[in-house]
């Protein structure tokens, strides 16, 4: 298989509450060639999340074993839980010519950049910090202490946006998705 037939590895990052999940869902509905890499995590499922679709929910012991066996492209620990991208799935789908979307944090994106310099890194940002606070409170899934932790993490993540290929402000959801599709199409044309 020629290198041109391989899929594009697309990394999408951004702080909690910026709308990454919604953007990724919309991209998957509109891009026939794209699949989502389902991450592994040791955290408990939130309401409505399904094992194997939202995440692979695994024990800490299983996660640590996968680390030892080189089973992750990247992994991290946040809020006392591990998250990681399973290597086999991503490499298989790219070889099949599928674009693989990773929804991961800035630390994971840095690891992906090292292993896959050709990966397309996209940072989704809120229109303002105030809007991010509003969105986090609207979710109703965290108390004030956790919201403050997420905002501190957001400041850290947003400070890394300069290392991404593109920064996309999620002010209008439809426009955000259209902008990302154009970026992906341009990358695909550049590969030919």
Among 15, 165, 3, which residue's Cα sits nearest to residue 104?
Answer: 15
Mean pLDDT confidence for 6-17: 93
- Residue 4 predicted with pLDDT over 80: no
Angle at 70 between CA 64 and CA 76, to 5 degrees: 55
Predicted confidence at residue 181, as pLDDT, reads: 97
Q: How many helices (H) and strands (E) does the chain have?
A: 7, 9
Q: Which CATH superfamily does the domain covering 3-191 fall into?
A: P-loop containing nucleotide triphosphate hydrolases (3.40.50.300)
> Per-residue pLDDT tens for 103-148?
988 988 999 999 899 999 999 999 998 888 888 888 777 788 888 8
Confidence class for position 1, pLDDT limits 50, 70, 90: very low
Mean pLDDT value across the chain: 90
Cα separations (Å) of 29 from 23, 25, 33, 42?
10, 6, 10, 28
DSSP output for 114-126: HH-TT-EEEEEE-
Better pLDDT: 2 or 69: 69
The model's pTM is 0.83
Give the separation between CA 187 and CA 125, rounded to whole angstroms: 21
Q: Which run of H or E residues covers position 72? A: strand 72-78
Predicted confidence at residue 99, as pLDDT, reads: 96
């Amino acid at each position: 298989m020629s290198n041109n037939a391989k899929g594009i590895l697309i990394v999408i990052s951004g702080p909690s509450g910026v709308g990454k999940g919604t953007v990724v869902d919309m991209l998957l509905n509109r891009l026939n060639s794209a699949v989502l890499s389902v991450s592994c995590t040791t955290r408990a499922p939130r309401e409505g999340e399904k094992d194997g679709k939202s995440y692979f929910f695994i024990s800490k012991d299983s996660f640590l074993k996968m680390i030892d066996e080189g089973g992750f492209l990247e992994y991290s620990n946040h809020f006392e839980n591990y998250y990681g991208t399973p290597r086999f799935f991503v490499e298989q789908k790219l070889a099949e010519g599928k674009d693989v979307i990773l929804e991961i944090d800035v630390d994971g994106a840095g690891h992906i950049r090292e292993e896959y310099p050709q990966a397309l890194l996209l940072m989704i940002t809120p229109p303002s910090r105030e809007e991010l606070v509003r969105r986090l409170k609207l979710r109703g899934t965290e108390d004030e202490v956790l919201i403050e932790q997420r905002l501190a993490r957001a400041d850290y993540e947003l400070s890394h946006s300069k290392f991404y290929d593109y920064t996309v402000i999620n002010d209008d959801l439809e426009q955000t998705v259209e902008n990302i599709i154009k970026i992906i199409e341009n990358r695909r044309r550049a590969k030919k």
